[in-house]
Amino acid sequence: MSKNRPVVGILTFQGAVQEHIAPLAQVGAEYRLVRLPEELEGLDALIIPGGESTVIHRFLHRYGMIAPMRAFAQKGHRIWGICAGAIVLATNVDGEAGKGASLLEIQVRRNDYGRQLASGANLVFSPEFLPTEGAMMPFIRAPRFAASQSREAKAIATRENGEPVGFIGGSQENILATAFHPELTDVRSFHAWVAGATLSRDIKATRRQARQGDFSRYAPEEPARRCAAP
């Protein structure tokens, strides 16, 4: 691996792991698949992909990943949780204390947008990550974020109705949670953020040209199609 390129881990217990590999390469980052605490060593950042939060929680506890992930975040490393990954990061889930890393003071309700058949794309606005006109983003059995959150978390993305669908927080604003899946679009600004990369001219162009695709193929078959248990 090149020492000049950021190395981003992808938690690979279960979920949409492969979908992040090409986007990371496009922003100049290398990737490493992560299952065990020692595999966090040498990483610059970590992605917790979408999937089934109950399965991810089970393996996080089984393989002793909770404390190492918290220590990783405390060192200032960036962590991005997508959909189920956002649930892993949340301090409050369905009105109870979160069972995962609990690194971001947000309240979420699991699958609150409906079952897989209700999955689809919605227009999302994010001044820091998306063009002014917004971009279509896929929501797949997505968690819903409470409108009122802790001062420790800042909304960075909203739906057209103003409902928050993305938050950033942590002591160094190094924890990001999104209810939607940018990895299934042409948008690369979120991957650039987690890698600490500066968007190149080509990536910025892709950001402006975010496709408005049909994500119905990801429901009902796709979101939990893989289980890569250790």
- Find the largest Cα–Cα distance for the chain: 44
226 in any annotated domain: no
225 in any annotated domain: no
Residue 120 annotated as binding site: no
223 in any annotated domain: no
**Could you report the per-residue pLDDT of 124-171, keeping only the tens digit for each?**
999 989 988 899 999 988 899 987 667 789 999 999 989 999 999 988
209 in any annotated domain: yes
Closest CA to 153 of 85, 86, 223: 86
Residue 163 annotated as binding site: no
**Could you report the per-residue pLDDT of 20-63, keeping only the tens digit for each?**
999 999 999 999 999 999 999 999 999 999 988 989 999 999 99
Residue 62 annotated as binding site: no
134 in any annotated domain: yes
At residue 114 the predicted structure's pLDDT band, cuts being 50, 70 and 90, is low
What is the pLDDT at residue 115? 61
Where residue 82 sits, what CATH number does that domain have?
3.40.50.880
CB 189 within 8 A of CB 129: yes
Where is pLDDT greater, at 200 or 193?
193
Sign of CA dihedral 33, 36, 37, 38: negative
Locate all alpha helices (DSSP H) within the chain, ordered by sequence.
Answer: 21-26, 53-62, 66-74, 84-89, 189-195, 201-208
163 in any annotated domain: yes
Catalytic residue among 20, 57, 77, 83: 83
pLDDT above 70 covers a percentage of the chain that reads: 80
Catalytic residue among 183, 191, 221, 227: 183
At residue 216 the predicted structure's pLDDT band, cuts being 50, 70 and 90, is very low
Residue 144 annotated as binding site: no
Residue 141 annotated as binding site: yes
What mean pLDDT value characterizes the chain? 83
Catalytic residue among 57, 77, 181, 191: 181
140 in any annotated domain: yes
Please confirm, yes or no, whether 83 is among the known catalytic residues. yes
Total domains in the chain come to 1
What is the pLDDT at residue 149? 67
Predicted structure pTM score: 0.85
Residue type at 171? S
Closest CA to 152 of 137, 170, 178: 170
Residue 189 annotated as binding site: no
Structural domain boundaries enclosing 167: 7-218
227 in any annotated domain: no
